[in-house]
Structure 1
Amino acid sequence: MALAGKGVLAIWNGIAAEAEADFVAWHIGEHIPERVAVPGFLRGRRYVAERGAPKYFNFYETETPEVLVSPDYLARLNAPSPWTQRVVRHFRETSRTICHVAQSRGLGDGASVATLRLAASGERAAFLARLGTMMDELQAAPSIVAVHLLEGQGGGGGATAEKALRGEPDQTADWILLIEAVEAAPLEAALAEHASAQALSSVASGYDPARDYGIYRLQYGLAKPQLA
């Protein structure tokens, strides 16, 4: 379905093998519920890779991008729980981008999502127009549930206690295209027909399928009303 708000925090991360079970339990048992409880957060989801890297993709929907630099959220980032401290030290290849929702269309949620990290090529309006045509084609393809375009606003800037635990600088994305589908096979077919590597390279700069493309399967989702 269309995203719930106008802000998104998009995160990709790997995890050291010895900490993976703890990471999965922490995400469900503490971290996602804690984040969704922050004022302005609306929903969180976690996905695992079927193709692409890093292994995990997570995103949080917020009322606005400003929620992601708000005092309430920064207070959480600067007071990580003991469990958070234990797990986050094992993150690898972390990409973390605060985003403005540029476009979002659809009805319902898909079990699989394609993530495409893009950089604008040329003039912004022309880039958006060409991406808009591609999104129209993707949305009309069989079994596609929703399509979203996110404009990166950077990583939020500033040092936090939680960022220091990761030990290496976070990557960020300029633009993120998300396509949700009922399962991976029709998603891959739609991408091959309407958003091939060649087609994406014609509208985005520096697109690298090995680095910027992934298909992920939903593992867990939590919305604000479910906390009660």
Structure 2
Amino acid sequence: MLAGEAVVAIWNGVAEEGWAMNYAWHIQEHMSERVGILGFNRGRRFRGIDATTHPALFTLYEVDTMQVLQGQDYTNRLNAPTPWTRAAGKHSRDTSRGLARVVASHGPGVGGVMATIRFDADASAETALAALVREAAGAPRVTGSHLGVADAAASGVVTEEKRNRPDIGAPPGWFILLEATDAEALAPLLPDAALLAAGARGPVRRGVYRLEYLRTKTAWAP
């Protein structure tokens, strides 16, 4: 299960010349900074398993509640980006970031690979989609199955960290995260037809990512 009732879910690419900086910044500063915020419990960084996964990176922060994501501690950090964050942000591409409540979360733990499935839906579809997510959690070698719904207003707030960032696009709406021991375990789960029958609206955007880095609660100082 996810470590909290809310998440920050971020999909993004990186310009070719920015990869070395991105890895150094994200591992040495950025994730520890984020997980150091009160109410943030765990951060995970993933990279696409092959070139067909776009964008190349997926980052997930697991947080106590949506109130934490709309609170002053997180807002203050977003409005005071470090010099390294500003520099790394110039190399980001195709960014979609959502502050989301966790509607459903099942499974015993963290998987080595994660499938992300993004789509739109009406609130009336929540029960049916949550049932699909619960069923998927019982599949062989699946370690987690989660449904999130982004808060459009909270996700769209323009902070100093986002200002003058042309790479930042629309936030996600609804998304499903499936974790497993291997990509083959994820392949047959939740086909588009099943999602659409449950009330999802296309286009359905999929990616499969492998876990690169995990950080739990940590102290951080600038």
Superposed pair shares fold, TM > 0.5: yes
Per-residue deviation, residues 32-88 of structure 1 (Å, max 9, x unmatched): 000000111111000001252100000101111121121111111111111111110
* Matched residue, 2:173: 174
Separation in 2, partners of 1:116, 1:8: 15
* Matched residue, 2:193: 198
Please report the RMSD computed on the Cα atoms of aligned residues, expressed in angstroms: 1.7
2:9–2:61 Cα contact (<8 Å) kept: yes
SS in 1 for 2:162: helix
2:129–2:199 Cα contact (<8 Å) kept: no
Q: Deviation at 1:118?
A: 1.9
Q: 2:137 aligns with which of 129, 136, 139?
A: 139
Per-residue deviation, residues 165-206 of structure 1 (Å, max 9, x unmatched): 4224432122111111001111113x2xxx112222223444
Matched pairs, number: 217
- 1:9-88, aligned counterparts within 5 Å? 9-50=8-49, 51-88=52-89
Separation in 2, partners of 1:175, 1:108: 22
2:32–2:218 Cα contact (<8 Å) kept: no
Paired amino acid for 2:191: S
2:94–2:168 Cα contact (<8 Å) kept: no
Paired amino acid for 1:128: E
Q: TM-score, normalised by structure 2?
A: 0.91
Q: TM-score, normalised by structure 1?
A: 0.89
Separation in 2, partners of 1:226, 1:78: 20
Give the direction of change, closer, same or farther, for the CA distance of 1:102–1:202 in structure 2 (3 Å limit): same
1:85–1:165 Cα contact (<8 Å) kept: no
Separation in 2, partners of 1:176, 1:26: 27
Separation in 2, partners of 1:205, 1:128: 9
Separation in 1, partners of 2:143, 2:107: 6
Unaligned runs of 5+ in 1: none
* Matched residue, 1:159: 158
